Amino acid sequence: MKLPDTTVLGYALLGLIQLKPSSGYDLRKIFAETAMGNYSSSPGAIYPALERLESQGLIRGVVEDGVGLRRRRLYKLTSKGGSALKRWLSRPIAQADVMRGAQELMLRFSFMDRALGPDATIAFLAGFRSALEAYLAGLESYLSENAPQMPLSGRLALESGIRGYRGLYDWTDYAIRTYRQSQTSPRSRHAKTDRGGLR
Amino acid sequence: MKLPDTTVLGYALLGLIQLKPSSGYDLRKIFAETAMGNYSSSPGAIYPALERLESQGLIRGVVEDGVGLRRRRLYKLTSKGGSALKRWLSRPIAQADVMRGAQELMLRFSFMDRALGPDATIAFLAGFRSALEAYLAGLESYLSENAPQMPLSGRLALESGIRGYRGLYDWTDYAIRTYRQSQTSPRSRHAKTDRGGLR
DNA sequence: TCCACCATGTAACTGGTTACATGATTAC
DNA sequence: GTAATCATGTAACCAGTTACATGGTGGA
């Protein structure tokens, strides 16, 4: 027991590499320049993480040696890496995931349709939705019970959280509807010039 | 240069101790049982953090020795700790703070009216609001430019982020209005039975 | 020639996680 | 007496941060 668990950053890397084989530099740019910027992007995080993934056999890096090219190590997902990614994407939704702001769940979602297909993605969204519903119920009952005794800023901070989760809840509805539509009329689900990820 | 910077957890502890002198166990309970659960709560995080704060002179712990009482170390804010807290609360809002989900900003807000008063809090909310506006503009222009080429899940994930920030933006409006109201009719801004924090 | 960018590393440090340990007090 | 809770610690481990280092390539 206690085999070195893959970090969230590791899974983010796995997911991006699955979308498109990439070098460490490519991945750093994605974290630095896109909406995925909440993850590191520093070389001291990315390169060791890639080494770890490679030593676990989840990715494999090949040095590109074209003429007049800078050396760069292009990483591809191995089949073991693919199944590790799918296992992570298929994990049941814990309420702890919701409590921590649901960022990891959103990350999973953004890789999910490519790896598991639209049906699994819709199922995931439905589970996400009911987890949010349960969590919201708790927050709202807490608020209604304690609002009178709470300091104003505490009450407002809690209300901000509630609004945020309610917004996410509405979003899951919207996302499910959108997915259903795209299934019945699947014209151009992915564009050819797709560069991957949630930029 | 490079004096050991106080972590976000450290500031969370400072803020809670300012609201009410507390022991490590009290603070752990707050993190474990309230909406502040995104912070550690594990003894291996709290107690070392308290030691660090004490060694920096920001708090001071006194062992309560009442008869028939379990020994517990009650921490109080020192004046140095009070000014450190105020400095943190008064920091200008960086867009990096907004990008990382604004959790630290919400933490600052929840301690702010006690430490800096309602005027500073309203000013903070106004700054928060305009930072959100700027960030939202960037996200939305990115979306409108790239939506056609993005994979469905990536687009939806981005839209979820935009909805979240828009919700926060609306919340800042609401919070500012609420604060203004409470200033003109300041009846019972804090209840006597107040137990502090954003529970 | 020199700067900007591509591209990959590494070394020191440090805060948080997990897990274990200890003992006192209260309630049953 | 024993279980639950109060209350505080500590030790091993590890990922991420900061900062520095290295060298190739393309354009001005």
pLDDT digits (tens, 9 = 90+) for A112-171: 999 999 999 999 999 999 999 999 999 999 999 889 988 899 999 999 999 999 999 999
pLDDT band at A66 (very low <50, low <70, confident <90, very high): low
User: What is the spatial distance between Cα B131 and Cα B92, in angstroms, rounded to a whole number?
Assistant: 11
B18 is near strand D: CB distance < 7 Å: no
Asked if residues A135 and A142 have their Cβ atoms less than 8 Å apart, the reply is no
B166 is near strand C: CB distance < 7 Å: no
Nearest to A101 among B103, B154, B182 (CB): B103
User: What is the spatial distance between Cα B22 and Cα A71, in angstroms, rounded to a whole number?
Assistant: 56
Mean pLDDT of A163-182: 96
* Residue numbers in A near B115 (CB within 8 A): none
User: What is the spatial distance between Cα A188 and Cα A192, in angstroms, rounded to a whole number?
Assistant: 9
Residue B194 is predicted with a pLDDT of 42
Q: Where are the beta strands (DSSP E) in chain B?
A: 22-23, 59-64, 72-77
3-state secondary structure of A63: strand
CA-based diameter of chain A, in Å?
71
Residue A34 is predicted with a pLDDT of 85
Residue B68 is predicted with a pLDDT of 59
Percent of chain A exceeding pLDDT 90 equals 72
A71 is near strand C: CB distance < 7 Å: yes
Contacts of range A25-31, beta carbons closer than 8 Å, 24 or more positions apart: A25/A72, A30/A197, A30/A199
Closest Cα in chain A to B118: A153
For the stretch A9-18, pLDDT in tens is 999 999 999 9
User: What is the spatial distance between Cα B109 and Cα B124, in angstroms, rounded to a whole number?
Assistant: 8
* Region of residue A57 (left: phi > 0; alpha: psi -120 to 50; beta: else): left
**Within chain B, which residues score under 70 in pLDDT?**
1-4, 66-69, 185-199
CA dihedral A152, A153, A154, A158 (to 10 degrees): 100
User: What is the spatial distance between Cα B119 and Cα B113, in angstroms, rounded to a whole number?
Assistant: 8
Residue B67 is predicted with a pLDDT of 55
Nearest to A168 among B164, B171, B191 (CB): B164
Residue A40 is predicted with a pLDDT of 86
Q: What's the Å distance between residue B49 CA and nucleotide C15 C1'?
A: 9
User: What is the spatial distance between Cα B160 and Cα A173, in angstroms, rounded to a whole number?
Assistant: 11
Write out A122-171 in H/E/C secondary structure.
HHHHHHHHHHHHHHHHHHHHHHHHHHHHCCHHHHHHHHHHHHHHHHHHHH
Which tokens go with B133? 């506006």
Cα distances from B67 to residues B22, B24, B70, B71, B138, in angstroms, run 19, 20, 9, 10, 61
User: Whole-model pTM?
Assistant: 0.89
DSSP class of residue A73?
E
